[in-house]
Amino acid sequence: MDICPNCTNKLTRKDASYCCYCGQSTCNFNQSFKKVLVRSTYEIFDIDGRVATTLKKLLFSPAFLSIEYSIGKIKSYSPPLRMYLVSSLILFITIELFQSTPNQTFDQVGIFLVPKGILEQLSRIMFVMLPIYACILQFFHQDKRYIYNLIFSLHIHSLSNLLLTSALIAQSLATHDLIIVLASIFLIIYLLVYIIIAMKKFFGKSWMITTVNFLGVYAIYLSSLVFVLEIVLKTKQ
């Protein structure tokens, strides 16, 4: 095959796997079913492999994905925005599944009680908080471009979504209150330690400056969150 069937440009190499103009695979379907099946299976598992690697890195290697993205290693991992949207969707479904009885004024999330209505609005609230978080990071780290802080923000919020999902699942499966308390404490400590290590690695400052920046970022972030929550609760009334 010398011509790409999709964009009709001439292929630069006879053995090319993809067209360098439009990116279409040179694999045509005019071959044995077995060959097509093997190749398709390989492609599907390749994608799955990427998702699994990305998830593992997101959960256990603070800032790894954000750093890989900033140095241009993009193709090996799932895109940050897609990961954030998928983790939000998983969280949203979990909230819908494990919601408490409708006549209560509070929802229980681990050891916390949150006013009714917040959980249902959480994905929308977080979508607002995501760029705010990146702005606050920008304020403390003028040397980083905003886009990199936004990628960092997407990764941290994706991780938070997954931890919150685990908290809700643990809570609904727990047979004893002590398990809920221990699971909540573990997840909160995990998140805090993860964020500090991620900030240390991503921004490359000393531990002292990282800790001060962490406290500053979260003081502003939590104040903004309370402000946004108040607006959400007021508009609901």
Site residues (CB under 5 A) for Zn ion? 4, 6-7, 19, 21-22, 24
Of 6 and 104, the one with the shorter C-beta distance to Zn ion is 6
Cα–Cα distances (Å) from 86 to 19, 152, 192, 198, in that order, read 30, 16, 22, 21
Q: How far is the CB of 29 from Zn ion (least distance, A)?
A: 16
Of 21 and 186, the one with the shorter C-beta distance to Zn ion is 21
Q: How far is the CB of 40 from Zn ion (least distance, A)?
A: 20
Q: How far is the CB of 36 from Zn ion (least distance, A)?
A: 19
Of 16 and 192, the one with the shorter C-beta distance to Zn ion is 16
Of 4 and 217, the one with the shorter C-beta distance to Zn ion is 4
Q: How far is the CB of 22 from Zn ion (least distance, A)?
A: 3
Cα–Cα distances (Å) from 213 to 38, 117, 205, 235, in that order, read 51, 32, 10, 33
Euclidean distance between CA atoms 54 and 76, whole angstroms? 8
Residue 52 burial (CB count, 10 A): 12
Of 5 and 49, the one with the shorter C-beta distance to Zn ion is 5
Euclidean distance between CA atoms 72 and 66, whole angstroms? 10
Looking up tokens 């193709």, which residue turns up?
A: 75
Residue 60 burial (CB count, 10 A): 9
Strands (E), the chain: 106-109, 112-115
Q: How far is the CB of 16 from Zn ion (least distance, A)?
A: 10
